[in-house]
Structure 1
Amino acid sequence: MQLKQYAVVFIALLFGLETTIAIPRFRAVEVLSSRSLSSIDDTKPLPTTSDVQELYFTQYLDHFQHQDTRTWQQRYFYSDRYVRKYDDDSVKETRRQAKMEADAAEYTFLCVGGEGPPLDASVLIDSVHCSGDMLYTAQYLHETWNVNIHLYALEHRFYGTSQPFSDNYYYTNDKLRYLSSDQALHDAAYFLQQQMPNATVVTFGASYPGYLSALLRLKFPHLVSAAVSSSAPVQATLNMISYNDAVGANLQNEQLGGSSACYDVFVEGHAQLNHLVLQPDYHGLLATEFQLCDVDSLLETKNVQLFLGDGVIQWDVQGNDPACTDEFCNIAKVCDVLVSRAVQGAEWSALAWLSRTMRLQSSRESDCIVLDWNETLHQLSQPDEDWRSWLWQTCTEVGYYQTCLPDTKCPYGRGWHPLEQDLEICRVAFNITNVGDNVDATNNRYGGYDMSATRVLSVTGTEDPWTTLAFRPEHPPPNHQPFHSVPGASHHYWTHPPKGTDDIHIQRARQVILEQVMNWLGFDMKRKEDSAVATER
């Protein structure tokens, strides 16, 4: 029996893109000193999940219709790893001394959940979500200042196991109407209000959760003392042409391992494929080279959009890791093999080889790829499909549609991913026709580039395709709020678990976050260092 892989149109999953099918690929701060992180012992083994509790909280279904008293169980994780346990008088005395040095002894750090990857106990141990920022900062403050840091991670409604409805059809349109960023923000606010009403809270998040982290401070400053917002696309955008333009620029960026020759292989190869798909005599060759199940699928324009519109190679370009070890895991490795295999005038064959090889090495068990737009729409309309949650949010709130249009720098099949492709999904899957109005309403509600929150640190990577929608030097946050641009960095790479291969800019980003949080919480770094010097004497 022939196994088939359905090609599903890419519609902008933000976070880390750890997906198994072709679902959507969504004032600079002065660095003071590198000494303040040096006391953290990186040689210590990672904590285990044994100190992380998986818990549930009774949450309201609708925060805006007060007559609706229905509730559901929202999942969260908690760890007291950085809360001191006092066993003897000497430890208590140490605690009393530390309390005199700090304005407050107890702090709560909240990792804000989002659209993916799904949360599990590792979120408070070693994950892409909040490791390099929240956990690293908590460890330093606990070990250096002897204060207590309570660690929380709250899952977003309609993702993971935080499902407001108990049947198997979580994602019907009538249920998804309770899914919005505003409901999620009120979920977090109610959680904080009920669980820790008097706590000093700092929120952390990256990508869409980074957006939510900033918005929690904006909307609930009485509950959230400060926020760290990494790689957050704060400006909702219907037609995100800039995403693939940035991908094209990255493929040419020699600091990332790209080159003009690599970019040319992508552009010329897709242009050649554009020519070949318009000639039915070549469809058999293309079906063989790209392992398509049905040669006749290329006769349909919308199927060709699936084939070329987001590129014939499926890879995590926004999660570029210079130190990764897999064969085709970053821009440098992909570019090296493409440039070495490309033949001038037939660059498309190098793309075909890489596509076949990457599929062979992946976990996909399919023998061939189905290009079927109608089947794609059918799959996206099924009420038990969990990817509908984020699609719903793109249609009702943020857009973020990564088109590939003529006369752009998109390195894929230019003209084969029009905006209409995404809008048709909204119409067919959700009966939503006013996507542009919804995007405008989101920016009006939260402010977009004019978001007026205070005590929010925005951190973005210069080579992240999402940076064009984030606060950056060209679009700094209002109110003179701090932001930090990380040279050479991809999508919130500094929130990933620290590694020995992290370059100086990633390390510096974590330092910036630490120092800014300490400043907001009232820690006096110089006084601490002076005290350490006096002790040494």
Structure 2
Amino acid sequence: MFVLAISAFILVICSPVSPFKEHWFTQQLDHFDDNNDRTWMQRYYYNFESYRTGGPVFLYIEGETAARPSFLFRGQFAEMALEVGAAMYLVEHRFYGESKPTADTSVKNLRYLTSEQALADLAAFIRNKTAAYGRDTWVTFGGSYPGALSLWMRLKYPSLTRGAMSASAPLVAKVDYSGYNDIIERAILTVSGENCTKALASAVAEVQELLKTDTGRTELYTKFNLCEYLGERDYKTFQFAIHNRIAWIVQYNEIPTSEVNLTIPQLCQHMTNESLGDEVTRYATIPMHGLSADNQKPNTLDRETLLSLSGLQCLHADYKMTIASLRVPKFNAQRTYFYQLCNEFGWFQTSDGVRQPFRGFSFDYFFDRCYMVFGRKFTPARIVRGIAKTNEIYGGRKIAENITNAYIFNGGIDPWHPLSYIGQSDHIQGYSPPGNPTFHALYDPESSHCAITNTDFPTDSNKLRESRKLAMKYLKSWIQYK
């Protein structure tokens, strides 16, 4: 989430080719306007290979990226389907991938891009397939933003599903989410110690000093391999861009399927290695390689190779170019997801927190981007109202008290977990809020974003393994599996 410039490329590298064909479903453009009869075609995939007569139906919810049908044959979703004999569907989110409800993504058309419309899409899909095949035991799955959709689906359409599974779901919409970077600081400190956090903070502070002079900006241009010399309006964009590299590493720390992603210990080994140069030089040359298949040697996808493969020979930090690219009303996940952030969720990862190493991108930077990209109606007051409305619609963390047959997993290394529901402070595994015994909170202090959605891996913690077993136990109770 919110590192789309990197994540889109990572997914291309990591996702295996799918053997399943794409299919199309006719959807209403506006589910809440009876006078609007416009329709569009939504892409979906299915896999019935694990299905046994009388088995449930699993619905994997996609989010702010193109559909990834590889989830139909790998990971926790596919393994659970195999064990209980489930049919599997995977549905692409409107305005992402090839699911294009309108001719373009003009602001006029983006009014149809809301979480409520996305949930109504899923409801229509379930109703149609239930009527066609007579299978009415549906369970939804999702991780990150789709994890929130999975729980919200259970809240808004409880009669259509038997249960909901969710991983790392941000349930609270929030304007200034500086807590994201606070967790990055805490995660690095917990995993690798204060030498690393001090080196990172020192590098960030020195970058701010270098931005004050022509000589300093020239040094940054060279060390960070920038595409353009930095003007004054570029400073915030530059500092946010280099922050994203650290954010990506921490958010997906030690996820075995992300072969091109560095771990926190590897990041810190780099940042504390004085033989590589001063702290700014180390900050500028953080590689993006992870572990090879044998989990021992770094693979060959270093920073320069990734830049070459992605067609990027340098780092873009030009404010005008960033705004211009986001304003083009084409189907682009960075534009559509940014619209959702400005319109419904916020989740702006600012540097305003006092317990983080980053500086240079306050919430005014994100407000400005919303205004410049989507027009004068996107004032700070309007953005704040939209985010407050989201919390009114879904209830934030109170959803744990209001839905049945659901679980949510979170990891302590994941920067998104403060916006989720983690139960009590002592993190009792499977904790249920008072009066709601079928809602469960699973938590592993050592895990990162959506870690539960992968299959068991040798380096997984005992709590992560336990969480997967409990998830299966809860699922079987919902569907009355024998």
TM-score range, shorter chain: 0.7 to 0.9
Which residue matches 1:43?
none
1:508 and 2:478 matched: no
Matched, 1:469 2:437: no
Counterpart of 1:330 (choices 257, 263, 266) is 263
TM-aligned CA distance change 1:356 to 1:250, over 3 Å: closer
TM-score (norm 2): 0.85
What is aligned with 1:140?
A: 83
Where does 1:214-363 land on structure 2 (aligned, <5 Å)?
214-254=151-191, 258-295=192-229, 297=230, 299-300=231-232, 302-311=233-242, 314-315=245-246, 316=248, 317-321=250-254, 329-341=262-274, 346-354=278-286, 358-362=302-306, 363=309
Alignment of 1:433-452 (within 5 A): 433=379, 434-451=382-399, 452=402
Task: After TM superposition, give the deviation of residue 282 of structure 1 in Å.
Answer: 2.2
Trace 1:28-427 onto structure 2 (pairs within 5 A).
49-50=18-19, 52-84=20-52, 105-116=54-65, 118-126=66-74, 131-132=75-76, 134-142=77-85, 149-165=86-102, 167=103, 170-197=104-131, 199-254=136-191, 258-295=192-229, 297=230, 299-300=231-232, 302-311=233-242, 314-315=245-246, 316=248, 317-321=250-254, 329-341=262-274, 346-354=278-286, 358-362=302-306, 363-386=309-332, 387-405=334-352, 408-412=354-358, 414=359, 416-427=360-371
Deviation at 1:454, TM superposition (A): 1.8
Distance 1:393 1:324, change over 3 A: closer
2: CA distance, partners of 1:404 / 1:446: 27
Q: Is the 8 A contact 1:377 1:425 kept in 2?
A: yes
CA 1:137–1:398 in 2, change beyond 3 Å: closer, same or farther?
same
Partner secondary structure for residue 158 of structure 1: coil
Partner SS state of residue 56, structure 1: strand
Which amino acid counterpart does residue 197 of structure 2 have in structure 1? Y
Q: Which residue of 2 aligns with 1:7?
A: none
- Secondary structure, in 3 states, of the residue corresponding to 1:472? coil
**Deviations, residues 484-504 of structure 1 (Å, cap 9, x unaligned):** 112311001121244444333
Aligned-pair identity in percent equals 28
Residue 474 of structure 1 and its aligned partner are, at CA, apart by 4.7
List alignment gaps of at least 5 residues for structure 2. Answer: 11-15, 290-301, 426-430
- 1:387-409 CA deviation, whole Å, 9 max, x = no partner? 2111111011001000012x612
User: Which secondary structure state, in structure 1, belongs to the residue aligned with residue 265 of structure 2?
Assistant: helix
State the alpha-carbon separation in 2 of the partners of residues 107 and 172 from structure 1.
39
Is residue 443–residue 463 contact of structure 2 (8 Å, CA) maintained in 1? no
- Secondary structure of 2:123's aligned partner: helix
For residues 190-246 of structure 1, the C-alpha deviation after alignment (integer angstroms, 9 at most, x for no partner) is 111111145111111111101000011111111011101111000111110100000
**Distance apart, 1:141 and its partner CA:** 1.9
Quote the Cα distance in structure 1 between the aligned partners of 2:311 and 2:39.
40
Unpaired runs of at least 5, structure 1: 1-11, 22-46, 85-94, 96-104, 143-148, 525-537
Note closer, same or farther for the CA distance 1:450–1:521 as it changes in structure 2 (3 Å cut): same
CA distance in 1, matches of 2:351, 2:453: 29
User: RMSD of aligned C-alpha atoms?
Assistant: 2.6
Higher relative contact order (CA 8 A, sep 6+): 1
Tell me: CA distance 1:189–1:373, structure 2 relative to 1, closer, same or farther (3 Å). Answer: same
Aligned length: 443
1:370 deviates by: 3.6
Q: Which has the larger radius of gyration?
A: 1
Aligned to 2:374: 430
TM-score (norm 1): 0.77
What is the CA-CA distance between 1:113 and the residue it aligns to?
A: 1.3
Q: CA deviation at 1:293?
A: 3.4
Report deviation, 1:14: 7.2
Change in Cα spacing, 1:474 to 1:343, as seen in structure 2 (3 Å) is farther
Change (3 A) 1:312 1:153: closer
CA contact (8 A) 1:57 1:75 kept: yes
- Which residue in the other structure is 1:101 paired with? none
Residue 274 (structure 1) shift: 1.0
Match of 2:453 among 481, 495, 498: 495
Give the match's secondary structure for 1:59: strand
